[in-house]
Structure 1
Amino acid sequence: MASKMRNPRGNAVAPGGGPTAANTKKAKAAIPGMHRSASKQRVMNMQAYDKEYFDHNLGPGRRSSITAKPKHSLKTIKDSKFSRSYRQIKHKAQDSKTYIINPKDANSVKWDIFMGILIAYSGVTVPLVVCFPGFQNQSDWSTVSTVVDVCFGIDIVRNFVVGYHDERDELVVDHVDIAKKYVRTWFVLDAVSTIPIESIISLIDPQADVSHSYASIQLFRILRVTRIVKLARLAKLRTFFSKAEETFGLNAGVVRLVRLILLVLFVSHLLACFFHLLGQPNDPPSHEPLDNMPDSWLCTADKPKRCLRGETDSVRYLYSLYWVITTLTGVGFGDVIIVTAFEKLYAIFAMIIGASVFGFVIGNISTLLESMDKRAAMYQMKMMLVKDYIRTRNLPVDLRVKLRRYFEHYLSRASLFDESSILGEISLSLRNEIVHETCKDIFQYVQHPPSFDIYWTI
């Protein structure tokens, strides 16, 4: 019978030098459910990684305090995992054969804000140009109007190279898809409101604008009214407010309140301009006396013998705006007297518009103010329930004071929303990003290996 041999550690060894069957079973049992070669390689990798991390971060001369500022901040953690989708989008845009502008880029947002200001400027000046002939004859305003039209033309070209986010919130960088989407949405409106019709007519017939013939005068009156089409640009202001709210993190209630105020101001401005146009529909010739002009509210305002047609555009606009405000608010002092049938019909229309707009605005403002003060509403409701409970249970005075003080302290710091419910309804990746952002003050003091990703799930 062959005798068993023992190695220097005292373990039994088979005659051939290999391990015995008992030792083999014992070795396999050390790492259950795993291949020995894979486990050995994994252990070696972990040991090498731990040694490298210790030498690099916790070796001699290195700070190992938990309160020390880590070398790898929260930005490194987030960039390692949660910014991967953004980098993929960025690389895809760089690999594209055509130049595509990211709509969330800082310069792109600045341009959108600039165009929003120009749209608001057009909403103010276009009614003035149409309804006040002297306004458009000023060279300074004409130059500014030309510059604005050029900017809108540049914006049309730019919109063909600005990417957009699809239903899956992915950035579309294909030039054909971008062009199709823009043509189906805003292209027609932008093109119609930007074409300089009057400039084209002047280039075709340079003498048309200086001719005093009846046909030339009527043509330019019609062209002047066609500028109203430029007001269609105001439809894009809704998109502008949405982008501004998202980019700058503005309060949604405040943005909505500003929109309602601007709506009232614009409606008043528009009605005032067209009220002046009814009083003076034609440009008075320089050789014709003002007394020979047909009667209108401009010749009976304030005093019967006073004619406002000889006043400046700013004075006539002030009278028009004054009449509109008094009509919309239902005051109607009666010092601006309407004369013609068209003016009376316009007054009826203005009163209907005023009742509708003011009713809509006042109702929305009331709802908006209530929604903006949710904490106060919740506090009042809770305290009413507490008082009812105290009265029902007939608690002694000392317990009443303690209970009220407790709820006053608790409600002053309580959250208005259920955070667990909100986080439970969103995707895991977005939930992790939100947790990393809200807990970044804690994460920045946690030492971790360079390539270690922390996952938090609620």
Structure 2
Amino acid sequence: MYVMRMLDPNSRWKEAWDLIQALAILLASIEIPVRIAFQPELTGWHLTAEAIVTVLFLADVGLNFFTAVPHRNRLITDRRYVARTYLKTWFVPDLLAALPLFLLPGVWEAGRMVKTLHLLHLNRLLKLTRVVHNIVDWQRHQLINAGIFRLVFVGFGILLIAHWIACGWILIGGVGPTAGDLDTYVDALYWTITTLTTVGYGDITPDGRWEKLYTMMVMVAGVGCYGYVIGNIASMLANLDLVRSAQLKKIDQVDALLKYRRVPPMLRQEVKDYYEHVFESHATPQDEALLAELPLALR
């Protein structure tokens, strides 16, 4: 009897599989809101695409029961432990995202088919939480600068949220008659950006009750989002190079002390040059303290 061996989560094959899953859900997170907003007529291509995504997601659920679990710098391959860990963590959202809801009885009936099926796609977005977790975990293992990664990650997240809000604005009829779907989407995205950034030029305004309620919710969210983004960008830019930031802070402190002691400018510059030379050619006490925490085998 063949028993599938446990998979290494850090293997190239598993990383490639996770990348395919990430691309599938990221594309779905962009495409599903568009389908809900514009509600195009369904074709055989839609059914084929849904079947492919369902197979991919169900296969991922199965593979996770055969993927070793990292724990304290080692991989645990005990099948019961792996299954128990997966069932307690990502099994429920993964399974819900993989369910082929488009095959439910009555979904394809005339008159109800289009609206119902497009809304049933929303369960796919549950997979997005797992993808975010995998991307953050991948960043830690690839040793990518955390500041740069966070900057790109937050930027993409803002664009994705703006895309969702724009599609919601289209769905409730916030955009008037336009030349085509592309113009409709551009107008909706334009309204979203101006509202989220609290600019609000006023050339696109809500008319009905639902549009006004939707606008108020977006405006409230925009105030919080704007403050969060600005604060995080400032923090991320300041922390792109933590070592250099600490060095500059040290030099500024020394320079402030020399100014207070009324040291001549030439001597102050020589002291600053000395510190620059030390920082470039020697490890700082902070560096040595960090390395001292490592075991001898890793120093």
TM range (shorter): 0.7 to 0.9
Deviations 1:151-208 (A, max 9, x none): 1121111111001023x3332112122112111211111111111212343xxx6xx6
| Partner residue, 2:37 | 131
Q: TM-score, normalised by structure 1?
A: 0.59
- Is 1:164 the counterpart of 2:69? The answer is yes
In the TM superposition, 1:323-334 aligns within 5 A as 323-334=191-202
Question: 1:224/1:420 Cα in 2 relative to 1: closer, same or farther (>3 Å)?
Answer: same
| Residues 1:195 and 1:417: Cα distance change in structure 2 (over 3 Å) | farther
Of 159, 168, 181, the residue aligned with 2:85 is 181
Answer with 1 or 2: which has the greater Rg: 1
Offset, 1:414: 4.7
How big is each residue's C-alpha offset from its partner over 1:104-156, in whole Å with a ceiling of 9 and x where there is no partner? Answer: 1121122112212222112111111222212x636555543432222112111
Q: Identify if the C-alpha distance between structure 1 residues 119 and 413 changes in structure 2 by more than 3 Å, giving closer, same or farther.
A: farther
| Alignment counterpart, residue 212 of structure 2, candidates 332, 344, 361 | 344
Aligned to 2:270: 402
**In the alignment, what sits opposite 2:123?**
229
Which position in structure 1 is the counterpart of 2:10? Answer: 104
Q: Secondary structure at the match of 1:165?
A: strand
Name the amino acid aligned to 2:63.
R
Q: Please report the TM-score for the alignment, with normalisation by the length of structure 2.
A: 0.88
Q: Which residue is 2:255 aligned to?
A: 387
* SS across alignment from 2:187: helix
1:38-437 matched pairs, under 5 angstroms: 98-134=4-40, 137=42, 140=45, 142-166=47-71, 168-201=72-105, 209=108, 211=110, 217-218=111-112, 220-279=114-173, 297-298=174-175, 301=176, 307-308=177-178, 311-391=179-259, 393=261, 395=263, 399-415=267-283, 418-426=286-294, 428=295, 431-432=296-297, 434-435=298-299
Q: Is the 8 A contact 1:241 1:255 kept in 2?
A: no
Distance 1:377 1:200, change over 3 A: same
Amino acid at match of 1:181: T
Gaps of 5+ in 2: none
RMSD of aligned residue pairs (Cα, Å): 2.6
Q: Which runs of 5+ in 1 are unaligned?
A: 1-96, 212-216, 280-296, 302-306, 436-458
Question: What's the CA shift string for 1:38-70, capped at 9, x where partnerless?
Answer: xxxxxxxxxxxxxxxxxxxxxxxxxxxxxxxxx
For 1:416 and 1:238, the matched residues in 2 are separated by 36
Q: Deviations over 1:416-441 (max 9, x none)?
A: 66344224334x3xx31x23xxxxxx
- Taking structure 1 as reference, are residues 400 and 193 closer, same or farther at Cα in structure 2, changes over 3 Å only? closer
